[in-house]
Amino acid sequence: MRKHRMPPRFVLLLWPALDRLLRVIHHIRPLKADHSSIVSLDIRHHKGRTVELNDGFKVKTGDTIIELHLNNAWFKARRKLDIKASQSTREILGCLEQDLRFLAQQVVNGKFEGVVALHGITLLHAGAKRLGFQVDELLPSLWKKSAYFYMAGLMQIYHLRADEAPKRREKTWELKEVWLSRAALLTRYSPKHP
């Protein structure tokens, strides 16, 4: 596999401003009003081809989906407090699981009416798979290369401890797509599945 380019450190100075701009443009907001969630999201209509999920559900063009994002402010706040454990995979997965339970409860309560699935593009697909998401390959494209470059920069700024960054810069990350149907979300994360 060919190694992807990582953003040079001096360019990373622009990433926080770019991240804020993209969040405003795409209406990305934290899952919880108090900004304590590790998950951020936006609601959109699926524009791609029909995707058949592992549970047999099909996400069709035009269907309403929740696009998941990591709340980078969560990582930044934890880093300021020097909470090193917040960078551990176990804690991150635990926080993601709590947010998925909260999201499932919101769906049960009717907050996200019409949403058929959760979707994301991530370098952290191994963790997403452990949380029950279907992981799919992305076709090679200029968009995929650009998204990889951007997300690798975010990983360096927000998601890695300083002592891990040099090792991780050498590691090859793979950008993948993750999906979870509404039914699978409720089955796995809500005790009150309708």
| pLDDT for the residue numbered 75 | 79
Q: How far apart are CA 77 and CA 48, in angstroms?
A: 35
Question: What confidence tens digit (pLDDT) does each residue in 150-186 have?
Answer: 888 888 777 654 444 444 444 567 899 999 999 999 9
| pLDDT for the residue numbered 178 | 97
Residue 51: pLDDT band with limits 50, 70, 90? very high
Residue 85: pLDDT band with limits 50, 70, 90? very low
Nearest to 138 by CA among 103, 97, 83, 178: 178
Residue 17: pLDDT band with limits 50, 70, 90? confident
Mean pLDDT in residue range 127-151: 91
Directed axis angle between helix 89-108 and helix 182-189, to 10°?
110
Residue 80: pLDDT band with limits 50, 70, 90? low
| pLDDT for the residue numbered 107 | 94
Q: Which of 78-82, 88-92, 144-148 has the highest mean pLDDT?
A: 144-148
Q: How far apart are CA 124 and CA 89, in angstroms?
A: 10
| pLDDT for the residue numbered 159 | 62
| pLDDT for the residue numbered 22 | 85
Q: How far apart are CA 160 and CA 151, in angstroms?
A: 12
| pLDDT for the residue numbered 10 | 64
